[in-house]
């Protein structure tokens, strides 16, 4: 069975830069507070009226397609990962196909939040391995800024996220020593509600009624009242310390799983590209695995957490900076809401 390889890669981030000090104009926070907890210095926010999750994905896709030496008409399948789609339905995959004027190809949308890109990469990998498709476009794109609450009550969440997109073109590898060696996908929904956005959702009231963030509210129906909206019922909910504790366990676990599956060790890794959730998580995992600074790539300082887009943006930046060379062993890893977590091991 043939392996798949990343034949082209690209990323796009909006031009609008918002520093931590910029956010302090809207909420009770400061640069020191944010950097100490997350490592983030600034993030990019899309133009509210002109840019969408799809249009950012298109910009990243154009670069990836050009670098793969093909055209948009050569793409025969799309896998689009996002938690912030343009519409509740339809998904962004068909919107990207329309924007890029592609032929009538299959389009699959992936909803795995922070691990969405690696899940999408794994799905595309299977299609290439079986020979069903030749050129698959895999996109991770997010526009968080349009739905975030920039008030002090939401600072634990809103200071973390940014907008952007990354994309790769997957093809069959001609060199048997090159390509995706393996992917590893996991989930555990037992504590799904400690990182979730409950609305829209028919089961939301059950989980909101006992939450201290929403006291004394009569959440009787699916449609929210003005009081419920003002109380924050439509905002993301996150128990940050609980998420951190899970992440620092599952991140190294899934990385070691990939290495073991390929008879390799941590010393064989040339570059680890983790999902950019929190710089403190990445640093903890780096220390646990015994990796030197030049073996781990982080860019959360510049872009914040771009969820499904964070891995391809970081991977592309690392490649453009010359940190990834042919023959290098590259490990991708992510953990996020669900909870889901995943890894991919690639011989570049």
Residue 236, number of CB atoms within 10 A of its CB: 21
Distance between CA atoms of 21 and 6, rounded to whole angstroms?
A: 38
Of the CA atoms within 13 Å of residue 172, those in its CB half-sphere come to 11
Radius of gyration of the chain from Cα atoms?
20
Selecting among 92, 305, 316, 331, the annotated active-site residue is 305
Selecting among 92, 112, 184, 275, the annotated active-site residue is 275
Please indicate whether residue 114 is annotated as part of the active site: yes
Distance between CA atoms of 8 and 319, rounded to whole angstroms?
A: 11
Selecting among 92, 112, 114, 278, the annotated active-site residue is 114
Helices (H), the chain: 20-23, 31-38, 53-67, 92-99, 116-129, 155-158, 204-208, 226-230, 240-261, 279-289, 300-303, 310-320
Please indicate whether residue 203 is annotated as part of the active site: no
Please indicate whether residue 275 is annotated as part of the active site: yes
Is the Cα torsion angle 277, 283, 287, 292 positive or negative in sign? positive
Return the closest-CA partner of residue 44 out of 313, 249, 343, 341: 313
Active site residues: 114, 275, 305
């Amino acid at each position: 069975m043939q392996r798949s390889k990343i034949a082209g890669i690209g990323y796009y981030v909006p031009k609008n830069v918002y520093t931590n000090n910029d956010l302090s104009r809207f909420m009770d926070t400061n640069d020191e507070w944010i950097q100490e907890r997350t490592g983030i210095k600034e993030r990019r926010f899309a133009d509210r009226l002109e840019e969408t999750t799809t249009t950012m994905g298109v910009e990243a896709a154009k670069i990836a397609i050009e670098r793969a030496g093909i055209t948009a008409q050569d793409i025969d399948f799309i896998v689009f990962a996002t938690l912030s789609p343009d519409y509740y339905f339809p998904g962004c995959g068909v919107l990207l196909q329309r924007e890029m004027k592609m032929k009538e190809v299959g389009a699959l949308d992936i909803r795995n939040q922070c691990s969405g890109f690696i899940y999408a990469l794994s799905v595309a990998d299977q299609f290439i391995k079986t020979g069903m498709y030749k050129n698959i476009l895999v996109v991770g794109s997010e526009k968080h800024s349009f739905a975030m609450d920039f008030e002090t009550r939401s600072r634990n969440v809103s200071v973390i996220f940014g907008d952007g997109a990354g994309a790769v073109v997957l093809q069959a590898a001609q060199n048997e020593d090159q390509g995706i060696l393996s992917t590893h996908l996991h989930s555990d929904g037992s504590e799904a509600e400690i990182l979730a956005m409950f609305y829209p959702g028919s089961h939301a009231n059950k989980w909101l009624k006992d939450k201290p963030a929403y006291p004394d509210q009569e959440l009787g129906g699916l449609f929210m009242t003005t009081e419920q909206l003002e109380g924050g019922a439509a905002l993301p909910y996150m128990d940050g310390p609980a998420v951190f504790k899970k992440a620092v366990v599952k991140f190294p676990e899934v990385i070691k799983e990939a290495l073991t599956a390929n008879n390799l060790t941590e010393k064989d890794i040339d570059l680890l590209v983790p999902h950019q959730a929190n710089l403190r998580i990445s640093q903890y995992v780096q220390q646990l695995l015994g990796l030197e600074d030049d073996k781990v790539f982080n860019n959360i300082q510049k872009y914040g957490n771009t969820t499904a887009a964070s891995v391809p943006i970081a991977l592309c930046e690392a490649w453009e900076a010359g940190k990834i060379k042919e023959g290098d062993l590259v490990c991708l890893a992510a953990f996020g809401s669900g909870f889901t977590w995943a890894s991919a091991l690639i011989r570049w």
